[in-house]
Structure 1
Amino acid sequence: MNYEVFEFGSVTFQSGETLPNAFLAFKTYGTLNQDKSNVVVYPTAFGDTHENNEWLIGKGMALDPEKYFIIVPNLLGNGLSSSPSNTPPPLDRVNFPQVTIYDNVELQYRLVTEKFGIKKIALVVGWSMGGIQSFQWGASYPDMVERIAPFDGAAKTWPHTYVVLDGMKAALTAAVNFDSSKLNQLTSENMRAVGRVYAGWGLSQAFYREGLYRELKYDSLEDFVVGVWENSFMKMDPHNVLAMLWTGQFADISANPTYNENFDEALKSITALACIMPGSTDLFCTADDNEYEARLIPNAAFKPIESIWGHFAGRGINSDDNKFIDDNLKHLLASGTNG
């Protein structure tokens, strides 16, 4: 096992549901310095584990383990942290509690404070649903978080993004004719259709038009859709996916007692230096949504990733996109903080 587990005991989520023996799986990179000032929190995205974040961590990079202590907490529902697939009955599979982004960040806060005694975080960074978590950190703990850098992720799930995620959910639940009483019958084989649906959203029209899948060693469009989209989704547990889809659909940094769904107020309350990096051709976490959010965050820089890789401009695949993200993180980390 190449990660650690932090156990919380019984946890009650925003939904009011209680999960006994809740836990977060996490991995750390680097060493915590004496005054605990070199902390980076880098949450995982939908369906990802800590290993999927490692492309952005390395010697000479912004997230250099020789300089920073990098904590990568795994999203609840991803199969490593508490999830439908690893929770014993009666809360397994479809009976797993509904979990919010806020719930995730609350447990991450407990991890960094209770296990490591950390009081300041130099940076919270993340891609996609990891990006939403970085916004949430900034809104929930403005006095603790010095910088945030969400890329290809919004501060809430805007209506169009909700519809995209709902389409993925429908592709899965169609396998049991949308009968909620039969959802426990779903298998990973039923994830094939979800991969096909997401294939049209994860990358841009220009990516497909220019046949960039050939750069990934796929000779044809069909081979690419099967080899990347079908196969990656069929490796996921369908009940974990339903849980993460719910988390994604109802993500909103203001949906908590602090802000009472006043989204603009939540954005204005983020005092961290912010570098917000949407993909210029992202089809469902759009640059327009991020631009609105950046205008309301007092210390935000809006830095679109000019790329035809769509949502996957932040996935660590294309070297030009990777360099853009890393360069902006270096600049952000070199910048002084506000207070």
Structure 2
Amino acid sequence: MTQEFQIFELGNFPLLSGEVLKDAKLAYQTYGTLSPARDNVIVLPTFYTGTNSRNEGFFGAGRAIDPARHFIVSPNLFGNGRSSSPSNSPAPQDGPHFPLVQMWDNITAQHRLIHDHLGIEKIALVAGWSMAGCQSYQWAAQYPDMVEAILPFCASAKTSPHNFVFLEGVKAALCADQNWNGGDYDSPPVAGLKAFGRVYAGWAFSQTFYREGLYKQLGFKTIEDLLVDWEVDHVEGWDANNLLAKLATWQAGDISAGPLYNGDFQAALGAIKARAILMACTQDLYFPPADNAIEAQYMPNADFRPYDSPWGHCAANPGNDPGFTAALDNNIRELLQG
């Protein structure tokens, strides 16, 4: 049986903040076969509550991304429980003591895996949903000569102030648990994790989704049933410190952070050479299409393509909106055809 993921040892890994992530580990998985010309590489980073296993819903036989034709590399975000995270790091970087890992750091580590370890010089496409899409922008800005195309969907090149505030809300709900104890909890802060899930559910879907009762298509009879499911998912599926470590990465998201662009966001966007399709959902509550429209103005080869879906941010979740999936595959095919 094939293992779910592999580990690339990074050693003591310097971070953009100046700290060092000790004995860092990057979890990843590959699918398909690298072509003799090494020109069929697709990178699919992971999203906020995702792993490389969850990314398997974005490709398959007959899909735009197909392991029969492509060599797919799916690296896991630091903090997601597979790569180095608060939950699996030894003291003194365990739990709430885990350092801030930024998008720059994630992509630096992924570059070491893909370029140095796997010996790949060119990436045909970097694509992804949500925080994975944010990483696709980062890849194209940080290594502009290596990335030929990107397709971020329901994502942005820089975390907006409103997005930052939304994340402060879910974070506050989690940390209000009396068992939180600054992250040094003896047992999981279950009430906080449940609150986190409930608040998040209000943002993940659109107002239209709830008004039209689309939650019934997911098998829930009532809104309360959906909310309880989101509670259970966060309690059973996630370590609280891991959630907050990735949340900090998300809040700090900015492709211009670091020594290449020194905070000049327009310059960072302008340096992206990759062909790009920016695919927003018009009813996404925290990655609104207006952000992508602004980005496209400064990117030399970007096409802004909003898609209207009442599923909001979760339009991209495999299986939710067949129309979104079809449009995504069509856009991917176009980019891969050049």
User: Shared fold by TM > 0.5?
Assistant: yes
Say whether residues 1:21 and 2:23 are aligned partners: yes
Q: Distance in 1 between matches of 2:86 and 2:47?
A: 17
| Structure 1 unaligned spans of 5+ | none
Partner deviation per Cα, 1:147-178 (whole Å, 9 max, x = no partner): 00000000010100000011111011111498
Q: Distance in 2 between matches of 1:174 and 1:304?
A: 37
Partner SS for 1:320: helix
Against the structure 1 CA distance between its residues 10 and 160, is the aligned structure 2 distance closer, same or farther, given a 3 Å change threshold?
Answer: same
Against the structure 1 CA distance between its residues 15 and 176, is the aligned structure 2 distance closer, same or farther, given a 3 Å change threshold?
Answer: farther
User: 2:164 matched to which residue of 1?
Assistant: 162
Q: Which amino acid aligns with 2:242?
A: N
Q: Which amino acid aligns with 2:104?
A: Y
**4+ aligned runs moved over 2 Å, structure 1:** 176-180, 182-186
Give, in angstroms, the shift of residue 12 of structure 1. Answer: 1.3
Give, in angstroms, the shift of residue 132 of structure 1. Answer: 0.5
User: 2:216 matched to which residue of 1?
Assistant: 214
Q: CA RMSD in A?
A: 1.3
User: 1:319 matched to which residue of 2?
Assistant: 322
In the alignment, which of 170, 174, 177 is matched to residue 175 of structure 1? 177
Q: Distance in 1 between matches of 2:179 and 2:66?
A: 49
Q: How does 1:42-61 map to 2 (within 5 A)?
A: 42-61=44-63
In the alignment, which of 70, 75, 82 is matched to residue 80 of structure 1? 82
Q: Distance in 2 between matches of 1:154 and 1:62?
A: 22
Question: Is contact 1:132–1:150 with CA below 8 Å preserved after alignment?
Answer: yes
Question: Is contact 2:47–2:132 with CA below 8 Å preserved after alignment?
Answer: yes
Q: Distance in 2 between matches of 1:37 and 1:226?
A: 45
User: 1:112 matched to which residue of 2?
Assistant: 114
Partner deviation per Cα, 1:195-238 (whole Å, 9 max, x = no partner): 011111000000000000100111111001111x2122212100
Aligned residues: 333
In the alignment, which of 129, 132, 136 is matched to residue 131 of structure 2? 129
Say whether residues 1:332 and 2:313 are aligned partners: no
**TM-score with structure 2 length normalisation?**
0.96
User: 1:299 matched to which residue of 2?
Assistant: 301
Q: Which amino acid aligns with 2:321?
A: N
Give, in angstroms, the shift of residue 333 of structure 1. Answer: 0.9
Against the structure 1 CA distance between its residues 334 and 168, is the aligned structure 2 distance closer, same or farther, given a 3 Å change threshold?
Answer: same
Partner SS for 2:202: helix
Partner deviation per Cα, 1:241-261 (whole Å, 9 max, x = no partner): 110110011110001110000
Against the structure 1 CA distance between its residues 237 and 179, is the aligned structure 2 distance closer, same or farther, given a 3 Å change threshold?
Answer: closer
Q: Which amino acid aligns with 1:165?
A: L
Is the deviation greater in 171-180 or in 281-290?
A: 171-180
Partner SS for 1:126: strand
- Identical-pair percentage: 47
Question: Is contact 1:186–1:238 with CA below 8 Å preserved after alignment?
Answer: no
**TM-score with structure 1 length normalisation?**
0.96
User: 1:290 matched to which residue of 2?
Assistant: 292
Partner deviation per Cα, 1:30-78 (whole Å, 9 max, x = no partner): 0001121110000001121111111111111111111110000000000
Q: Distance in 2 between matches of 1:84 and 1:109?
A: 22
| Structure 2 unaligned spans of 5+ | none
Q: Distance in 2 between matches of 1:35 and 1:241?
A: 39
In the alignment, which of 143, 146, 159 is matched to residue 145 of structure 2? 143
Question: Is contact 1:127–1:153 with CA below 8 Å preserved after alignment?
Answer: yes
Against the structure 1 CA distance between its residues 30 and 171, is the aligned structure 2 distance closer, same or farther, given a 3 Å change threshold?
Answer: same
In the alignment, which of 92, 102, 105 is matched to residue 103 of structure 1? 105
